[in-house]
Chains A and B, each alone.
Chain A
Amino acid sequence: GAGVSQTPSNKVTEKGKYVELRCDPISGHTALYWYRQSLGQGPEFLIYFQGTGAADDSGLPNDRFFAVRPEGSVSTLKIQRTERGDSAVYLCASSSTGTGYNEQFFGPGTRLTVL
């Protein structure tokens, strides 16, 4: 079956601009996660959705970052007034929380470059 998909695969923007990153989870997965990965580091948790609601947004670095999942499937991560330090690979993952295990399946990521 189809895995997690993310668009765009690459995004280059200028400092101060607004960007949107999209994630399409595995069909039927109720949980969706956003992580950020800098070069040479492990993924860093940003936000977790259970259904349509953000169950935990404690990893969002500041109020320039916002994410939505209006219908409980596709999610969009929104970054306002981008800064050079926002450059990273943004990973999305999804999981089925009904199994008792929390295997998170990752998408290929969006590489964001802020010039």
Chain B
Amino acid sequence: QQPVQSPQAVILREGEDAVINCSSSKALYSVHWYRQKHGEAPVFLMILLKGGEQKGHEKISASFNEKKQQSSLYLTASQLSYSGTYFCGTEFQADYKLSFGAGTTVTVRA
């Protein structure tokens, strides 16, 4: 079952902040965040595991609310390079299979 991402799109000026949400109707084992630029491969940003462990880029932060089955990705002091489509991928059990949301398109303008 595909997770639901919101918002679908967001436009920012450099230096502004944004939050992208990812919600699931099923209990989650882990949440993965990727950024994809047009015509390129998705790039791994962050993984959050049930129980609180996480691993990812230093400049990217995210949270995982196990009770709500929801994760949020925080873009802080956005830069032009943050532009792209952000996808969350959810894993319902430790079975390595990811279900991806439809994506959130982020545009950062100078």
Binding site for B on A (CB under 8 A): 4, 31, 33, 35, 40-45, 48, 50, 55-56, 58-59, 91, 95, 97, 101-109
Contacts and interface: CB of A to CB of B under 8 A. Distances in A.
Interface stretch (B12-20, B41-49, B60-68, B70-78): B41-49
Contacts, number: 66
Nearest to B49: A101
Interface in B76-100: 87, 89, 91, 94-100
Interface residues of B, number: 25
Contact of A56 (B44, B47, B95): B95
Interface of B: 2, 30, 32, 34, 40-44, 47, 49, 55, 87, 89, 91, 94-103
A102 B91 contact: yes
Contact of A108 (B41, B87, B89, B97): B41
A104 B68 CA distance: 25
Q: Give 10 closest A-B pairs by Cβ, nearest first.
A: A42-B100, A106-B41, A42-B87, A106-B42, A108-B41, A43-B100, A103-B44, A45-B97, A101-B55, A102-B96
